[in-house]
Amino acid sequence: MVMSDEMKIYTRTGDKGQTALIGGTRVPKYHERIEAYGTVDELNAFIGLVRDNPETDANSRKILLEVQDRLFTLESHLAEDPKGVLTRPMPKLNQDDVNLLENEIDAMNERLKPLTSFILPTGHQLVSLCHVARTVCRRAERICIHLSVSHPVDPLDLMYLNRLSDYLFVLARHFSRLTKTDEIPWKPRY
């Protein structure tokens, strides 16, 4: 969908299975760019569920809102046709966005017990939501890496997705601590 000053919810231009990249090029809705930014959009929706949970602390809420904004930026990068005609500048992702995630990971890790085994993605609904978001983030990263084989993808976008999945894992552990939920270690059967 091409953004305008007045956004109309339906345009009817996609009724035959085509959509427009930013820049105007029309592609099938199953195009790998659409798959990539659609998966990032799915991730953004799951992060909204984590953020909106009543047990999410204020700092995490603030960071998750930043993340949601950055994911829209990333989606716009994935939707941009480098051969198209841009009518406005594209939003930017920068190293500070990655640094924010790393700083948050480090701050949360200081209050967590060291991991000695894999943990099961369960224990509390908020913890499980973080793990769902983490797995969608990993899928988005894989799809974007695959996309980068045939289309330009900014390496910083890939780095951001990679760090975000790490952040979501540590955030799940952080919420286990806040909700006083035991982490359940994986005990493989041999």
Give the separation between CA 8 and CA 3, rounded to whole angstroms.
9
Strands (E), the chain: 18-20, 26-28
pLDDT averaged over the chain?
90
Give the separation between CA 81 and CA 141, rounded to whole angstroms.
19
Residue 114 has pLDDT above 50, yes or no: yes
- For the stretch 35-89, pLDDT in tens is 899 999 999 999 999 999 999 999 999 999 999 999 999 999 988 887 766 777 8
Per the CB < 8 A criterion, the answer to whether 78 and 144 are in contact is yes
The answer to pTM > 0.85 is yes
DSSP string, 94-108: -HHHHHHHHHHHHHH
pLDDT of residue 30: 67
- Mean pLDDT for 124-135 is 98
- Could you tell me the domains of the chain? 20-109+121-178 (1.20.1200.10)
Which SS3 state, helix, strand or coil, does residue 111 take?
A: coil
